[in-house]
């Protein structure tokens, strides 16, 4: 674990969690795609 400077620490604490936004977008997007696949690919074809 590399030590970080006080400035770096302050910058991290004040920055937006961009990685989290990206992960959440991927998860929600994946869920929507999976739901659409189940609805149109499995549920509706069963009649």
Partner 1 sequence: MNDTAERKLILCHLWVAFAAFIVACFMGEYQVLERSGLLPALESPTVYFASVSTHGVLMAFVLTTFFIMGFGYALASSSLKQPIWNKPLAWGAFWLALVGVVLAAVPLLLGKASVLYTFYPPMVGHAAFYLGATLLVIGSWIWCAIMLVMFTQWKTANPTKNVPLAMFATAANALLWLWASAGVALEVLFQLIPLSLGWIDTIDPGLARTLFAWTLHPIVYFWLIPAYTAFYVFVPKQAGGFLFSDEMARMAFIVLAVFALPIGFHHLYMDPEQASGWKLLHGIGTFVVALPTLVTGFTVIASLEIAGRLRGGKGLFGWIGTLPWGNTMVLAVILSLLMLIFGGFGGIVNASYAMNAMVHNTAWVPGHFHLIFAGTTVIMYFAIAYYLWPLLLRKPLFSNQLALLQLWTWFIGMSILTTPWHVLGLLGQPRRISTVVYNNLLTLAWKPYELMMIFGGLILLGSACLLIYNLVKTQVTPYAGQFTDEIDYAEPIHKVGVLPEYLNGLTVWNKVIAVLMALSFGFPILQFFFMDTFGSSAWGN
**What is the per-residue binding string for partner 1 in 22-41, x denoting contact by CB under 8 A?**
xxx--xx-xx--xx--xx--
Cα–Cα distance for residue pair 33/12, rounded to 1 Å? 33
Q: How far is CA 17 from CA 1, 13, 24, 44, in A?
A: 20, 9, 11, 39
Give min distance, CB of 34 to partner 1, in A: 6
Q: Pick from 5, 6, 13, 29: which binds partner 1 (CB under 8 A)?
A: 13
Give min distance, CB of 19 to partner 1, in A: 5
């Amino acid at each position: 674990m590399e030590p970080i400077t006080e400035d770096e620490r302050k910058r991290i604490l004040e920055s937006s969690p961009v990685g989290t936004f990206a992960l959440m977008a991927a998860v929600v997007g994946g869920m929507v795609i999976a739901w659409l696949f189940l609805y149109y690919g499995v549920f509706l074809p069963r009649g």
